[in-house]
Amino acid sequence: MTNLEPASGTRRSFLRASGLGIGALAASPLLAACNNQNQTTAMPRYTGGDPWRRFEGTTINFISENTAPTAAIAANLKPFTELTGVNVQIVNLELTALVQRVALDMASGHAQYQVIYADPYQVLAPYSAGLADLSEFVGADGYPELGHGGLKDFIPTQLNAAGKFVDDEKVFALPYDCPTMIWQYRKDIFDTYGGRMADDLGFDITPGADRTWEEYFQMAEWINGNADEVPYGTGHQAKQHDSLMCDFSNLLWAYGGDYFENGQDVGLLGTKDPGQSLLNQPEAKEAAALYNKLVGIAHPGSRGWDWDGVANALRAEQIAMTPNWHENAAANESVLPGKVGYAPLPKGPKRNAHMYGGCGIGIADNSQGAERGAAFLFLAWATSQDTQLANLKSEAGGGTPTRSSVYELPEVRKAENRPSELPNMLTADAVNFAWQEANIGLRPKIPMWNECDTAIFTGLSQMLAGQGNPEETMDGISDHVDRIVERGWVA
């Protein structure tokens, strides 16, 4: 495995300095040329035999964000090499650096990185023209089957959100990881104080989908003043960062707000023209008001924390509960064994909503010859039931599966309850609820999302710092997002 340091500078400045503006890249003659070239590049002819051995001796490169599944796979590539005879070199980068590298590689004419960690918002939406349509391989003669029902085995909302863009008939990536935000709480503290808290507050305080965000606020405030084990009832990933947008979005959707019209469709399949922003609507302003109030009584470190910061705060016994990515469960259990519970996030006036942060892996469309075919072998293996189970067990990382069939395995079902040898599975009930179409939270899958995201978390951060009230803040963010969308996908 090769590890490279993240490149410095922002994605936009990097592309501009390189002469590869985002809009220019989308229509790049080089990209168009390599797409045409792939249609005629000789692929080794399949003459029968084991399709897994068809590209034996080939070396491919996989560029990935430094995620749990990739850590697990990098620690044990031997099974893939033994199965296929293909060598894989893995480059791990911070996501912004990965996007920069992928953008340049797609315009180069020939892929240096054949397998790409295709973040739906930063890679798939803006660069789908540079990713291969996997129908070229899935079910085609000379390639192994995906197994266990093929594409239908992937959790449907994840296949759409992480694998497709605009065209429902094309699949550009296979679901690879699936971090989803759920309610994580100190079970031991709730066991100790639950009776008193319920009596004082006048409602059932059991964490779960029946609680409301207003009740969550009251519970956090009660813990602030009554629990000795932790100084604060809640903590949030409210740093001026993508994490702030993720944290706020759970309330936005729960209160009936959204970023654009038809938000679920824009999140599942995506669009190139989402229309006017809805962030100036009453539902969005109501959500912002409660979020502002909630962070106001949260641990003061919240405004400097991203998802890692708030996860560490829970494990350091600084907070009693937090919304955060479910894949923190394994680390929680290693530090606070048996003390952390997992539940769906609270509901708002409209619904329960849980930010989904999963990504897929795809093939660079300027991959050629045997490298192109070997890349699909890696996709098929890396997302297979056996590999996802091995990742779940890995001490190097792992993540949680994206295939429904893995969750039906007896040893996986057993691990949903303590004592668990697969601690991420302790979140199974919560995430299965979260992944239902009515409960999943999907940010807009649009080519210009990066700029919109920055406008959103910058405005929210200013609100949390007291530089504007929720109504003014959401009006300002909405106007900014509209200008970005009207300008289109440009550098």
pLDDT tens profile 231-240:
999 999 999 9
Q: For the chain, which residues make up each domain, given as ranges?
A: 2-179+358-408, 181-355+439-487
pLDDT of residue 33: 39
- Whether residue 29 is predicted with pLDDT greater than 70 in this model: the reply is no
Of 1.10.10.10, 3.40.50.620, 3.60.130.10, 3.40.190.10, which CATH number belongs to 2-179+358-408? 3.40.190.10
Going by C-alpha positions, the residue among 242, 216, 277, 288 that lies closest to residue 94 is: 242
- Among 118, 139, 138, 137, residue whose Cα is nearest residue 129: 118
Sign, Cα dihedral of 489, 12, 467, 292: positive
For residues 3 and 221, the model is more confident at: 221
| Residues making up the chain, counted from first to last | 491
Checking phi first, is residue 488 left (phi over 0); if not, alpha (psi -120 to 50) or beta? left
H/E element, 90: strand 87-93
Nearest alpha carbon to residue 424 among 461, 467, 393, 465: 393
Residue 41: the pLDDT is 55
**pLDDT at position 389:** 96
pLDDT band at 96 (very low <50, low <70, confident <90, very high): confident
Specify the fold of 181-355+439-487. Answer: D-Maltodextrin-Binding Protein; domain 2 (3.40.190)
pLDDT for residue 383 is more than 70: yes
Segment 262-289 mean pLDDT = 96
Q: Are 110 and 366 in contact (CB under 8 A)?
A: yes
In the chain, pLDDT over 70 holds for what percent of residues? 91
